Amino acid sequence: MFAFLQRLIPKHFLSRVVGSVAKSELPLIKGLFINIFCMLYRIDLSEAQREKASDYRSFNDFFTRSLKPGRRTIQGTVSSPADGTVAALGNIDGDTLIQSKNHSYSLAKLLASNNIDDFSAGSFITIYLAPHNYHRVHAPWTGELHHATYVPGDLFSVNQSTALHLPDLFARNERLVCRFQTDTGPTAAVLVGAMLVAAIKPAWLDEAYKPRLQITTEMKRVFHQGDELGQFEMGSTVILVFKERMAFSVKEGEQVKYGQSIVS
């Protein structure tokens, strides 16, 4: 029922309105939003660089808050790109990934490319960022980012209830596809937008992408494991795609932290 109702909601309009309010620096508006949010989600600001809610310029500034140096330790050869929950993981079967126990979806659609041969016998992991989570996304490996494609799309919620009932959820939503070359082969990190996500802002741009045309940027930028890759201006999902069959050290439903090793 919730997935059906989302089809009727003007999701882009609502998300952009929320985004505009979230950027307001008026003390009354930002203070109200931050205080209500902290109360509803029991936000712990002790690990943030700015521990007082009043120190943030806007709700969006608060939502994309950075951590104190040293609050996370980068572990293993592949680490979690974000704080969140493992929503799904497993092997890729040709062009098919698992969304939930009810649905699978197309890798080509997710990556917005027919160039998927590198991953046809690989694996994937999906990490869901809840509203209370830290919302910056970091490179889970060291590698050269050679293509970044912003794909405009829908803004359905990406929570587990929607994933269970809405086919092709991640391949339909607005997203940023980052394709890397690493020492162990090609990989991809996909930042998926969601309802009330005002925007996806990559580390190499001063502003977030505008929800208009699909844009592919070719680059040769090296990211070291743990470097900031981008941030969600509200909550969402990150999907990692690998060429190899990975032996994951985490399981579905497990809470993970940015920097935590996720492969054996």
Question: Would the CA dihedral through 83, 210, 222, 65 be positive or negative?
Answer: negative
Exactly one of 83, 123, 135, 154 is catalytic; name it.
83
Residue 264 appears among annotated catalytic residues: no
Cβ neighbors of 47 (< 8 A, separation 6 or more) are 67, 68, 71
Query: How far is it, in rounded angstroms, from Cα 242 to Cα 238?
Result: 13
Query: How far is it, in rounded angstroms, from Cα 91 to Cα 218?
Result: 28
Give the gyration radius of the chain's Cα atoms: 18
Strands (E) across 37-101 are located at 84-91, 96-98
Query: How far is it, in rounded angstroms, from Cα 53 to Cα 62?
Result: 7
For residue 32, the cross-strand partners are none
The residue count for the chain: 264
For residue 105, the cross-strand partners are 97
Exactly one of 138, 154, 157, 261 is catalytic; name it.
138
Residue 138 appears among annotated catalytic residues: yes
CA distances from 95 to 14, 109, 116, 246 (A): 33, 9, 8, 17
Residue 236 appears among annotated catalytic residues: yes
Exactly one of 79, 80, 123, 236 is catalytic; name it.
236
In what helix (H) or strand (E) does residue 180 lie, and over which residues does it extend? strand 175-182
- Residue at token pair 């990211």: 223
Query: How far is it, in rounded angstroms, from Cα 7 to Cα 19?
Result: 20
For 5, list phi and psi in degrees, rounded to 5. -65, -35
| Catalytic site positions | 83, 138, 236
